[in-house]
Amino acid sequence: MPSRFVCFGEVLLRLGAPGRQMLLQSPQFEVFVGGAEANVAVSLARFGHAAAQVGVLPDNPLGAAAAGELRRHGVDTRALATGPGRMGLYFLTPGAVHRPSEVFYDRAGSAFALADPDRYDWPALLAGVDWLHLSGVTPALGERAAAAAIAAAATARRLGVKVSFDGNYRPKLWEAWRGDAPGLLKQILANTDLLFADHRDMAVVLGTEFNEATTEARVEAAARAAFAAFPGLGRLATTLRTQHSVDHHALCARMVSRDGAVCATGSHEIAPIVDRIGAGDAFAAGVLHGLASGLDDGAALNFGLGAACLKHSLPGDFNLLGADDVAAFVHQGRFDVRR
């Protein structure tokens, strides 16, 4: 049976240089709608769930186009309000060979960042909802957005709505207003059930370095520290990425549960990469779909990894593939033309 999800965060426009060019190397941009939470909402809708996006957009053609794009992919935008301020943007310089991609944010003064946190009626917005999804991008935008995210998570916990939170630590955003990242993130994590994060995210939140010999051991140590710090947290899940070049990565995933159980996947080689932006959101949506659909932790983790791998084949922020496409990749791994 489909579950009901609410995703809270800023919907953005992405302006990227075409092909592998530098920004304004030629006077053109490729434009996509995105944003961490919106990416998750689109994936969940594609997987057959009822997914709603909550937030604020400017009352202008850019905001209307962004909301319309979410609706086109099945996301409920009735709680996506309009307010004063501008459209949040980010600019992408795509990487190539040994030159990494680079993101430049232009979000100050956006309608979402300026919105009064008291405008969100969280008991009404979360009524009858199974999961609330948040990410660390939202509290990084400023005091108002942080207060709204904290209130959303606290209300969800009080109402018995499960909370998933993707660390998504963005130092450029936090530094822009000198926000207290550890202090604010701890308030959200105190009400989180499922955390998408790795040892680096937890080092920021807990002020503890994890120096185990392997990445896998560092993730497990970070999970144990997170469980000790946040008694309501049940699971920590993350992808582990090996980068051979900009165009060739290997991806696997790991999930650690409060009871000490560890699930690990095999590794998938991804080459060539079409677009890696949004792969973490595709992973989060895939794991959420798996858990909401009654899959065990290992199967849910493999589904999430499959969704993340497939996202690398699509331009733009959204993973537009459905649950059957992901399941076919996970269980069959065949690449024959479908006729």
Separation in Å, CA 95 to CA 89, 103, 148? 19, 10, 34
Spatial separation of the C-alpha atoms in residues 277 and 155, rounded to whole Å? 30
Separation in Å, CA 251 to CA 82, 87, 94, 197, 208? 38, 33, 20, 15, 26
Three-class SS state of 59: coil
Please answer whether residues 222 and 210 qualify as being in contact, where contact means their C-beta atoms are separated by less than 8 angstroms: yes
Of the candidates 76, 198, 201, 281, the residue annotated as catalytic is: 281
Please answer whether residues 194 and 291 qualify as being in contact, where contact means their C-beta atoms are separated by less than 8 angstroms: yes
Catalytic site residue 281?
A: yes
In the chain the first and final C-alpha atoms are separated, in Å, by 29
Q: Greatest CA separation found in the chain?
A: 55
- Beta bridge partners of residue 165, listed in sequence order: 134, 195
Tokens of 127: 């009524």
DSSP one-letter code for 270: E
The 3-class SS string of 2-27 reads CCEEEEECCCEEEEECCCCCCCCCCC
Spatial separation of the C-alpha atoms in residues 190 and 153, rounded to whole Å? 9
Residue 29 makes CB contacts below 8 A (sequence gap 6+) with: 15, 16, 17, 18
Query: Which of 233, 236, 224, 328 shows the shortest CA–CA distance to 287?
Result: 236
Residue 135 makes CB contacts below 8 A (sequence gap 6+) with: 9, 36, 37, 165, 166, 167, 168
Residue 277 makes CB contacts below 8 A (sequence gap 6+) with: 14, 34, 92, 101, 316, 317
Annotated catalytic sites, by residue? 281
